[in-house]
Structure 1
Amino acid sequence: MSLNFVTTPLIGVRHGFVGRQGGVSAGIFESLNVGLGSSDDAEAVRENRRRAVEAVAPGAVLVTLHQVHSNIAVPVTAAFPDAERPHADAMVTATPGLALGILTADCAPILLCDAEAGVIGAAHSGWKGALNDIAGATVSAMEALGARRERIAAAIGPCIARASYEVDGGFRDRFTEQDAAHDGFFARGRGDRFQFDLEGFVAMRLAAAGVRQVAALGIDTCPDDGRWFSFRRKTHRGELDYGRQVSVISL
């Protein structure tokens, strides 16, 4: 099975939103599961991570985080051991040879680049990160390394789409209590339920942070079992664990 990944011409450096095909894992993790926190075979996960980086940014060293649904963005100047991964949800760097990797399974991966300044960023934005503006925190961290927000290009990769993202009224209230205008990202669903547009909300956060070039890829992870891992699909099926895909960017 070949390893495929999605790119956009808007991002002017090596990058890719890598799917679940082309790895060595089996069962519910078939096949390119890169999640260190999963119950998958550790050697298989390491091989999958190696394959993903080699496909997108040959020769680069993968750097990932212990993602905690925060709005914390950290600068990275060198790789660190997996056991010492920072508890954060975004990384920025101006160091060539590092492959910033964000793991997702329905949450939105964001890859960012100011090619002129030689500064890149990668962020993990679930609904908590989106609400607490991890996108804006990432842009600010890039700016601290010399990027200019008006030059930054950003791409929002495969994530759960509004049609698949059913939530209750309490979920919606968290957003509308912050800003009544956030109601526009919710559509009426079945009964008293709502459908949340995570990708659209993240795009709004990027625009509010001064990012003028945003590509929203519009790929729904939940229904496409053959291409993407999905936490919500795992939940609907009653499976005990799930795989994670990786999004990579490197100078």
Structure 2
Amino acid sequence: MTDRDGAGIHLDEVDLGPGVVAGFTDRRGGASRAPFDGLDLGAHVGDDPDAVAENRRRLAARVGCRVAFVDQVHGADVLAVGPGDLPDDVLAPAGTADALVTTSRDVALAVLVADCVPVLLADADAGVVAAAHAGRRGLVEGVVGAALDALVARGGDVRRVRAAVGPAVAGVSYEVPAALHDEVVALVPAAAARTAWGTPALDLPAGVEAQLRAAGVREVVRSVRDTWLDGSLFSYRRNAADGGRTGRFAGVVRLV
């Protein structure tokens, strides 16, 4: 069944200023079947393409315009997107990048995650928004700063930027080898963490927030939802025994 107005989709909305719609999806309101049930937005995870296409159409209906997705590669490249840059096929990416930026009111930006950190940025006064996918590698390589730079290059001011750090695997859940922990923490000290059972871990959301504040962003809201523990969110690590076979939820932002 097609949800023409996207009413069944749950969007955990965040306030990034007047004239900005922003939020984070979860599993609710989608057409996918197990193990991807329900609102799987990932076109690369082995889900039924028709179901993913329907889910993306529902998201577009929910936010009121077409949505740009990209082929994410855990880097720091930023893609500028306008409505003319979107392919006709809703499953096709607009390009390859781990962050997007736009000044258009006719396109929404989305980043896909299933443990990594979705980051949404907006300067409502300047009329520019951005979104970034910050996993461990992207955090270290500077994707958050790159997204901010792209926003500033289009008239934004970091002192006016509002940022939302979305649901991700929490530090108490993200166990990593000690050597990897030390390597990341040497570059992003705020990411240092221990799991609930006492082993080395990384707190990616804390690292993202620290980078935002160090760059001059004053208003940062951060989700407390842990993908490892929250079954209403997709988690690659939680499904490690099945090869990480799971769907993807999204952070999405647009100007209105």
Matched ranges for 1:61-210 at <5 A: 61-78=66-83, 79-81=85-87, 82-83=91-92, 85-178=94-187, 182=189, 184-189=190-195, 193-210=199-216
Matches of 2:254 and 2:166, distance apart in 1: 16
TM-score (norm 1): 0.91
Structure 2 counterpart SS, 1:14: strand
Equivalent residue of 1:166, what SS?
coil
Tell me how far apart the structure 1 counterparts of residues 202 and 71 of structure 2 sit (CA, whole Å): 26
1:247 deviation in Å?
1.4
C-alpha distance in 1, partners of 2:220/2:117? Answer: 13
Q: In the alignment, does 2:28 pair up with 1:21? A: yes
Moved more, 113-122 or 6-15: 6-15
The aligned residue for residue 230 of structure 2 is: 224
SS at match of 1:141: helix
Query: 1:234 is aligned with what amino acid?
Result: N
Structure 2 partner of 1:247: 251
1:168 touches 1:192 (CA, 8 Å); kept in 2?
Answer: no
Partner Cα separation in structure 1 for residue 237 and residue 155 of structure 2: 38
Distance 1:102 1:204, change over 3 A: same
1: distance between equivalents of 2:53 and 2:203? Answer: 33
The farther-off stretch of 203-212 and 1-10 is 1-10
Residue by residue over 1:175-234, the C-alpha shift from the partner in whole angstroms, topping out at 9 and shown as x without a partner, is 24436xx1x532344888312111110001111222111111111111111x10000001
Question: Which of 27, 34, 37 is the matching residue for 2:41?
Answer: 34
* Whole-angstrom distance in 1 between the partners of 2:253 and 2:195: 36
- Check whether the contact 2:172–2:194 (CA below 8 A) recurs between aligned residues: no
Quote the Cα distance in structure 1 between the aligned partners of 2:123 and 2:244: 40
In structure 2, distance between residues paired with 1:5 and 1:84: 22
The answer as to whether partners of 2:40 and 2:249 remain within 8 angstroms in 1 is yes
Amino acid at match of 2:77: I
Q: Name the CA distance, whole Å, in 1 between partners of 2:134 and 2:51.
A: 26
Letter in 2 for 1:50: R
Alignment correspondent of 1:3: 9
- How far apart in 2 are the matches of 1:125 and 1:94? 22
Q: Unaligned regions of 5+ residues in structure 2, if any?
A: 1-6
Counterpart contact for 1:10–1:215, Cα < 8 Å: no
Cα distance per residue 1:108-158 (max 9 Å; x no partner): 001110000000001100011111111110000011111111111000011
Contact 1:36 1:42 in 2 (8 A): yes
Structure 1, unmatched stretches of 5+, are none
- Quote the offset at 1:77 in angstroms: 2.1
**Change beyond 3 A, Cα 1:74–1:242:** same
Q: Find the aligned partners of 1:228 and 1:9 in 2 and give their Cα distance.
A: 21
Query: Using a 3 Å threshold, how does the CA distance of structure 1 residues 11 and 108 change in structure 2: closer, same or farther?
Result: farther
Does the residue aligned with 1:96 lie in a helix, a strand or coil?
coil
Q: Counting helix residues as a fraction of each chain, which structure ranks higher?
A: 1
Would you say 1:215 and 2:221 are equivalent positions? yes
